[in-house]
Amino acid sequence: MTEESVPAFSDLSLHPAVLKVIQEVGYETPTPIQAQSIPPLLAGTDLLGQAQTGTGKTAAFSLPLLSRLNPKLKAPQILVLTPTRELALQVAEAMQTYARHLKGFQVLPVYGGQNMSQQLRQLRRGVQAVVGTPGRIQDHLNRGTLKLDKLSCVIIDEADEMLKMGFIDDVEKILGFAPQERQTALFSATMPKEVLQVARKHLRDPVEIRIKSKTSTVEKISQFFWQVKGLHKLDALTRILEAEEIDGMLIFVRTKVATVDLAEKLGARGFSSAALNGDMAQMLREKTIERLKDGSLDIVVATDVAARGLDVKRISHVINYDIPYDTEAYIHRIGRTGRAGREGKAILFVAPREKRMLAAIERTTRQPIKAMALPSRKDITNRRIGLFKEQIAQAMESQDLEFFEELIDEYQSEYDVGHRKIAASLAYLLQKERPLQPDERFAEEIREERPERETGPGRGRKTSDEQMQTYRIEVGRVHGVEPGNIVGAISNEGNLNSRDIGRIRLFDQFSLVDLPKNLSQEKLHKLKTVWVCDEQLQISPDSGSRSGSLERPIKRRTFGRGKAADNRGYKPGVKKAPFGKRVAKKREKTT
């Protein structure tokens, strides 16, 4: 499909309630698979689609089917078969979102290993869509707990995966339970002959859709991918922005909402950037592009549509923050750099489930995309030092420094210290808010395990001792706290015996401490305002949720009976001095 012929969502005759959600989630235009699948699926035609995950396939079938659904009829009308539990959950979640404004709509994910009685209860209550793995769906069909007599459409998703996992016979059996007069759509990333056989047998005059990808070469652009792992994409992007020599940068995200959101987040981190999306007035869009051209703006966060045809020579980097939904979009995106004979760099963020799209892109561009490691703490330190030196040189060259030279001479003779010491102190002051050496948290490279995995959120975080409960306190490793400080503060101020203080886990920004469950409100209230290492404890029962990926426990320690508390760092009743206050680090624009 050519760029010009892409229809708008509003041209596709979707239900107004569904269109409203599309607006809300910020999808700008239908992806190629959506543009081609929605009309036949709305018309009730069978469909055979070759498309992979990441192409917008879920919406391609969900939007038309939901548009045709009868929400008043409390019986399964849509059945989606998926090879895995993860996909079932994902599809069910997406459907529920797209049906947000369809009153009374319910979707049920059904998969093995899940509580059967809960599923039965929900099935009895009446659901309009069921998304599940073949095994468990068959169980329900055989028991008679799932009835398909009112079914109007079956979707077979990732059919080639079903084949690989040995589910294809089950799929056929399930189809035997569905009414003859139904619509069937089959999606598959590849079309092995067994999948085609199923399609031939069960689909009637299907429309065939294949998202073709042109092969293209993009020689002047060096391409890299970063496998999203351990760090948030935003943190990874921040590091790249800090370490790379960037002239102009174009960052691609999938939705209009995300353009604004990411531009704001980057702004909060000190990187001035602007959003570019189809919702913006033409004049504002043009102004933004003009600013990018003339260098008054370096970073633009855009959707594919808004960046179509963008020709700005100084774009040195394209970041695919969200992976594109087809290879053509990728080629178009990265083609925004390497213009006018210049070199360009393209970086693609790839989540584990998006690896297939990466392989497809490599095939299309006929170029390997190299895996990249994120810049290390040392890389960033070096870059900051380099910029710092440049600033010094610039000031020396361009400013009249006589007044300051005299001031330094005066200081030297008054205080009897060398120039080196004075210069070092001034350098310290200059970088204090944004240290040349990023703090240690920055150095935390890819982390496999995050602390919440140990017990899972919302599980109460009980220790093995039933009498204990986990509390969160807002002092952590970055504040220099030691377990002994915590024991000292809690036992003294909370009037607790140190043997009542259980496991302590220190994280970067906060800590978890196990205390008796029956702590009085009065004690808790008192503990809230206790200062440790210049931070108030602000104690609260731990909910198990963690924000930020840079946090991890560094110590596990149980304080045994009568173990002496170490009170260093804890000053009873001493308020934090105003200068001790940690200032939120503001980054200046570096690109």
- Taking the complex as a whole, how short is the minimal distance between the CB of residue 310 and ligand AMP, in angstroms? 18
User: DSSP label at 436?
Assistant: S
Q: Are strands 153-156 and 107-110 parallel, antiparallel or unpaired?
A: unpaired
Instruction: With contacts defined by CB under 6 A, name the span among 52-60, 124-132, 431-439, 479-487 that binds ligand AMP.
Output: 52-60
What 8-state DSSP symbol labels residue 314? T
130/108 Cα distance (integer angstroms):
5
Q: Which is nearer to ligand AMP, 91 or 481 (CB)?
A: 91
Give the x-and-dash track for 276-315 against ligand AMP (CB under 6 A): ----------------------------------------
Q: Which lies closer to ligand AMP via its Cβ, residue 308 or residue 587? A: 308
Name the segment binding ligand AMP (CB under 6 A); options: 57-65, 167-175, 201-209, 343-351: 57-65
- b/e per residue 284-315 (b: at least 16 CB within 10 A): ebeebbeebbeeebbbbbbbbebbbebebebb
Q: Which stretch binds ligand AMP (CB under 6 A): 55-63, 362-370, 482-490, 541-549?
A: 55-63
53 contributes a contact to ligand AMP by CB under 6 A:
yes
Distance of CA 543 to the CA centre of its chain: 21
Please identify, among the stretches 48-56, 272-280, 370-378, 488-496, the one whose residues bind ligand AMP according to the rule CB under 6 A: 48-56
Report the sign of the C-alpha dihedral through residues 382, 383, 387, 393, in that order: positive
- Count of residues near ligand AMP by CB under 6 A: 15
57/479 with CB nearer ligand AMP = 57
Least CB distance to ligand AMP at residue 303 (A): 8
User: Site map for ligand AMP, 2-41, x if CB under 6 A?
Assistant: -------------------------xx-xx--x-------
How big is the chain, counted in residues?
A: 591
Contact 186, 48 (CB under 8 A): yes
In the complex, minimum distance from the CB of residue 96 to ligand AMP, in angstroms, rounded to a whole number: 13
- Binding region for ligand AMP (CB under 6 A) out of 40-48, 56-64, 146-154, 211-219: 56-64
For residue 173, which of 128, 145, 137 has the smallest C-alpha distance? 137
Q: How far is the CB of 206 from ligand AMP (least distance, A)?
A: 20
One-letter amino acid for residue 481 of the chain: V
Q: Nearest approach, Cβ of 365 to ligand AMP (angstroms)?
A: 20
Closest contact distance (angstroms) between CB of 56 and ligand AMP is 3
Name which position in 227, 255, 455, 538 contacts ligand AMP (CB under 6 A). Answer: 255
| Residue with Cβ nearer ligand AMP (357 or 487) | 357
Tokens of 587: 């980054």
Residue in the block written with tokens 């960033």: 380
Q: Cβ of residue 311: shortest distance to ligand AMP, in angstroms?
A: 23
57 near ligand AMP (CB under 6 A) = yes
Phi, psi of 137 (to 5 degrees): -65, -40
Under the binding rule (CB under 6 A), the answer on residue 122 touching ligand AMP is no
For ligand AMP, the binding residues in 321-350 under the rule CB under 6 A are 325
The least CB distance from residue 292 to ligand AMP, in Å, is 23
Distances (CA, A) of 267 to 277, 287, 298, 588: 17, 18, 12, 10
Q: Which is nearer to ligand AMP, 9 or 570 (CB)?
A: 9
Q: In the numeric block, which tokens belong to residue 539?
A: 């104690």
Cβ at position 302, least distance to ligand AMP in Å: 13
Phi-psi region of 158 (alpha: psi -120 to 50; beta: other; left: phi over 0): left
Q: Where does residue 401 fall: left (phi above 0), alpha (psi -120 to 50 degrees), or beta otherwise?
A: alpha
Q: How far is the CB of 21 from ligand AMP (least distance, A)?
A: 11
Is residue 463 a contact partner of residue 470, using CB atoms and an 8 Å limit?
yes
Tell the smallest beta-carbon distance from residue 565 to ligand AMP (Å). Answer: 50
Nearest distance in Å: CB 166, ligand AMP: 23
Structure tokens at 228: 């999203």
CA 487 – CA 563 distance, rounded (Å): 10
Please state the closest distance from residue 224 (CB atom) to ligand AMP, in A: 22
Place of tokens 């549509």: 305
By beta-carbon proximity to ligand AMP, the closer residue of 26 and 484 is 26
Residue type for 287, please?
K
Contact 154, 131 (CB under 8 A): no
Long-range contacts of 437-441 (CB under 8 A, 24+ apart): 437/377, 437/381, 437/384, 438/377, 438/380, 438/381, 438/384, 439/478, 440/377, 440/478, 441/478, 441/508, 441/550
Task: Please choose, out of 54-62, 241-249, 290-298, 514-522, the segment that lies near ligand AMP by the rule CB under 6 A.
Answer: 54-62
How is the chain split among helix, strand and coil, in percent rounded to 5?
A: 40, 15, 45
Residue 31's nearest CA partner among 356, 304, 362 is 304
CA-based nearest residue to 136, from 119, 153, 156, 158: 119
Task: Give me the helices (H) in 305-399, please.
Answer: 327-334, 355-365, 377-398
Choose between 240 and 253: whose C-beta lies nearer to ligand AMP: 253
The single residue among 32, 40, 54, 64 that binds ligand AMP, judged by CB under 6 A, is 54
58 binds ligand AMP (CB under 6 A): yes
**Minimum CB–partner distance for residue 54 and ligand AMP (Å):** 5
Q: What would the two tokens of residue 144 be? A: 């008679």
Both structure tokens of 577: 């001095």
- 32, 40, 49, 56: which one contacts ligand AMP (CB under 6 A)? 56
Contact residues for ligand AMP, defined by CB under 6 A: 27-28, 30-31, 34, 53-59, 254-255, 325
